[in-house]
Structure 1
Amino acid sequence: MNYLCFDVGGTFVKYAVLTDHAEFIEKGKYPTHSEVPDQFFADMATVAKRFPEIAGVGISFPGFVDPATGVAKRAGALGQLDGFNLIAHFKQALGNADLPVAIDNDAKCAALAELLNGNAMDVRNFAVLTLGTGVGCGIVLDGKVLHGGHFRAGEFGMSITDFQAQGYATLHDMAATSSLVRAFAKAKGLPFEQASGEMIMADLQDPVTNKVVRTWAQHVAVAIFNLVATIDPERILIGGGISKNPKILPFIEAALNENPFWGEFHTDLALCKHDNDAGLLGALYIALQNH
């Protein structure tokens, strides 16, 4: 059987048709028109109508989403969709109330992608920490994704970890890839727009750059340690654009080893297998479970 999966982002909506063995048959993307909700759902329906033989639909979506009802309690960057029942509106636009549709938060879908056919297939308790524009987190305990009482479980980027020095600055501000790039640009006297993660990785031999990365890695290590102390996972997986570079993991491991308690709480650390397709594969996982 084949499934249609959507990965909704602030700029583009990616979609793919996949088999129940996670094989891609077709991929595509189109601009996100969330500012006009009717257009947003019409665009999804237009794609779905191209594939009348699909067995179900999976949707990876930002924000606080109730997977049981399909309601977006908070639609992340797509604020115009706050409070919408995304499943109901999609089915209405499609004109098919019987099609099985499943939805969940994008970070949770990224974690489920690793459970489906990634680097968490052999564990039941793990977390995915994504380092990008912000810090995302998906937590899986006993093989089930953790949603929480208000569907906010895993909003780890909002953690405040350095109050005396940084006030209410969150991990989004200190441990995201964007914060690393910003610190690098400041240290090098560059405009933020001219700096990039690739530039940083190519300049690691420079003492200034090396210090910037080590400082950033300490913030990431604090996040990892607190997560480990809270949920006791079997593995922590690091995702996000910068994680694709194998040079970054040793910096994080070195920062963790500076923590005198890490020996007692030491947990397996690895990189995510999936990157750009994580949302689509996570959407497939929930579609398979729903069907």
Structure 2
Amino acid sequence: MSKPYVVGIDIGGTNTVFGIVDARGVVIASSSIKTLKHSDVNAYLDELYNEVTRLLVANDAVDKVHGIGIGAPNANYYTGMIEKLVNIPWPTPLPLVQMVSDKFGIPVAITNDANAAAIGEMTYGAARGLKDFIMITLGTGVGSGIVINGQLVYGHDGFAGELGHTIMKRNNGRLCGCGRTGCLEAYCSASGVARTAREFLEIRTE
């Protein structure tokens, strides 16, 4: 039996979005769950498995999935591990590729979520035909994927191009979830912008 589909999973600090995709990049169906609903990663994987399976059944795609691709914060393409999680309270390093592959019984690949977005835009989206560009993702955190000469830049350890954790304020900077202070993410992520708005409101009401 041919397997014309893949499942794409985007694990964000707030939501996990997943979908069934065909070889042309057309999203056949999609759904989502709350990432932070479970502090236990195994309970999270149980819900993810149940919801993805429900979507496959509803779209007659059971046994038609060639593999699963995952975009996740700080995911390492080379090792299949999530080395450190800043906005999600799961223990790390986390062998997510092995865990998801064991759960679903099909091949799994993983990369940083911003890198996955860059690959998607280069293959199917706004960056088609471009050889050199930067993809920046803004959400619970700040991510970036860098493409040079048509190749995604991973660096020697898989973590090249993490603009969100570039130090923007060296003195008295905000504490970032990574443990350092003054990171771009602490100011420009959704939570950082919300914090700035609250600080402005506090100043105006004093």
TM, length-normalised to structure 2: 0.76
Q: 1:58 to 1:40 in 2, by over 3 A?
A: same
2:73 aligned residue: 62
Task: Look up the match of 2:168.
Answer: 161
Q: 1:35 to 1:123 in 2, by over 3 A?
A: same
Deviation at 1:186, TM superposition (A): 4.2
Structure 2: give runs of 5+ residues left out of the alignment. 175-180
Indicate yes or no: 2:110 matched with 1:103: yes
Determine if the alignment matches structure 1 residue 37 to structure 2 residue 41: yes
Q: Which residue is 2:28 aligned to? A: 25
2:137 to 115, 124, 130: 130
- Partner of 2:101 in structure 1? 91
Aligned amino acid, residue 67 of structure 1 = Y
Count how many residue pairs are aligned between Structure 1 and Structure 2: 187
Contact conserved, 2:8 with 2:19, CA < 8 A, in 1?
Answer: yes
| CA–CA separation in structure 1 for the residues paired with 2:89 and 2:201 | 36
**What CA distance in whole angstroms lies between the structure 2 residues aligned with 1:115 and 1:190?**
43
Bigger Rg, which one:
1
**1:10-64, CA deviations, whole angstroms, 9 ceiling, x for partnerless residues?**
333211111111112111112335522322232333324743211221111122x
Calculate the aligned-residue CA RMSD, in Å.
2.8
Q: How does 1:145-224 map to 2 (within 5 A)?
A: 145-163=152-170, 168-187=181-200
Report the counterpart of residue 112 of structure 1 in structure 2.
Answer: 119
* Deviation by residue 1:40-99 (Cα, 9 ceiling, x = unmatched): 232333324743211221111122x222331221234334241222121112223x2xx2
Determine the C-alpha separation between the residues in 1 that align with 2:130 and 2:157: 26
What secondary structure sits across from 1:5 in the alignment? Answer: strand
Distance 1:16 1:82, change over 3 A: same
Pair 1:53 & 2:64 matched? yes
Name the residue aligned to 1:11: 14
Supply the distance in 2 between the matched residues of 1:110 and 1:163 (Cα, whole angstroms). Answer: 30
Alignment of 1:209-248 (within 5 A): none
CA contact (8 A) 1:44 1:90 kept: no
- Higher relative contact order structure (alpha carbons within 8 Å, sequence separation ≥ 6): 1
Opposite residue 59 of structure 1, the aligned amino acid is I
- The amino acid that maps onto 1:18 is V
SS at 1:55 equivalent:
strand
Letter of the 1:71 counterpart: M
Q: CA deviation at 1:174?
A: 3.6
DSSP 3-state at the match of 2:143:
strand
CA drift at 1:115: 0.7
Give the number of the structure whose residues are more often helix, by fraction: 1
Deviation, 1:188, is 5.2
SS of residue paired to 1:28: strand
Letter aligned with residue 166 of structure 2: S
- Flag structure 1 segments of 5+ consecutive residues without an equivalent: 192-291
What is the CA–CA distance in structure 1 between the aligned matches of 2:85 and 2:93, rounded to whole Å? 8
Counterpart-to-counterpart distance in 2, 1:78 and 1:187? 27
1:74 aligned to which of 72, 84, 92: 84
**What's the offset of the Cα at 1:160?**
2.0
Distance apart, 1:106 and its partner CA: 0.9
Give 1:127 shift: 0.7
Pairwise CA distance, 1:103:
1.0
Q: TM-score, normalised by structure 1?
A: 0.56
Q: Once the 2 structures are TM-superposed, how far is the Cα of residue 152 of structure 1 from its aligned partner?
A: 2.4
